[in-house]
Homo-oligomer: A and B are copies of this chain.
Amino acid sequence: MNRVSDLFNIKYPVIQGGMIWCSGWELASAVSNAGGLGLIGSGSMYPEVLRDHIRKCKQATDKPFGVNVPLLYPQTDDHIQVILEEGIKIVFTSAGNPAKYTAFLKEQGIIVAHVVANKKFALKAVEAGVDALVVEGFEAGGHDGLEETTTLVLVPMIRELVSVPLISAGGIASGKAMFAAMALGADGVQIGSAFAASAESSGHPAFKEKIVQAGDGATRLMMKKLIPVRLLKNTFFEQVQQAENRGAGKEELSELLGRGRAKKGMFEGDTEEGELEIGQVAGLIREVKPVNRIVEAIMDDFRETHLRMNRIGNEI
């Protein structure tokens, strides 16, 4: 009775974000077992590591799960090859041109969703034949669109434009926000930050601790001249900010970022010198919890919000 749940054959229209350094088989299988859709994040994996995670995920759940493939890495072809060999049936693509792989993946019987942050790419993805769109607002962690359009504005903007199922991403870690996103026209939600901070996330405990400690204004969209990315404030963030305030260009920012900075922060736990990617909604996340409790809390809050809004709607 819900287009996202039906498409992926899951209990709740709740998709876990396929985040680098956090979304291994432990997280993906836990989300699928909890009634959502788990996604292995291939962006930070060598192809054989991805294969290993897929195999372990199959052992850990008999529920559907998928793989997220960011299209900006050089090894994408190898990732796709592993996905086909391992019989994966759900692929989320992001950060690239949806025209490149969608038709090919669909021919292999794979359900394809693509992440967009503007109208142009939403139309392009639908033309390419995607089964669903992830509509990602400015408040999301990691790489965001240049337009900076927030979930509140972006979801209805894309809803008016296309008829495929929409999955709202960015700013969602509660049932209230899920309910709000669906009121705006989404059929389901994608949740990153809350799962990055979960017990089953492969992010470093020190990174998770930084997420739950994050308050008001703890993140900022940076590196707009390179690729916009939402970062948690730390020493590295301050270096980027100083460089940008001086007017630093693409090359300087790229050099400052260097290589392995995201791994250093999120996986190895150097929370000052590393790059920490997280959404604004970190400010609403209070503790590291197991995935099943996160999903239950979201669905309980969704049901409470439904009852509350039913009352409020009748009074207005």
Contact = CB atoms under 8 A, between A and B. Distances in A.
19 contacts: A2-B315, A118-B217, A119-B216, A139-B152, A148-B217, A149-B216, A151-B152, A152-B177, A152-B180, A153-B171, A160-B284, A177-B184, A245-B247, A302-B313, A302-B316, A306-B313, A306-B314, A309-B313, A310-B310
A129 interface: no
Copies of this chain present in the complex amount to 2
Interface string A277-307: 0001101100000000000000100110110
A185 interface: yes
Interface of A: 1-2, 5, 12-13, 118-120, 137-139, 145-153, 156-157, 160, 170-172, 174, 176-177, 179-185, 215-217, 220-221, 225, 245-248, 280-281, 283-284, 299, 302-303, 305-306, 308-310, 312-316
Contacts of A246: 247
Given A149-B216, A150-B150, A152-B172, A181 B180 contact: yes
Contacts of A245: 225, 247
A183 B174 contact: no
Closest 6 pairs between A and B when the two form their complex, measured CB to CB = A247-B247, A147-B217, A306-B313, A180-B180, A152-B171, A1-B315
Contacts of A13: 316
Contacts of A151: 150, 152
A137 B118 contact: no
Contacts of A284: 153, 156-157, 160
Nearest to A302: B316
Contacts of A305: 183
A182 B308 CA distance: 10
Nearest to A307: B313
Nearest to A185: B176
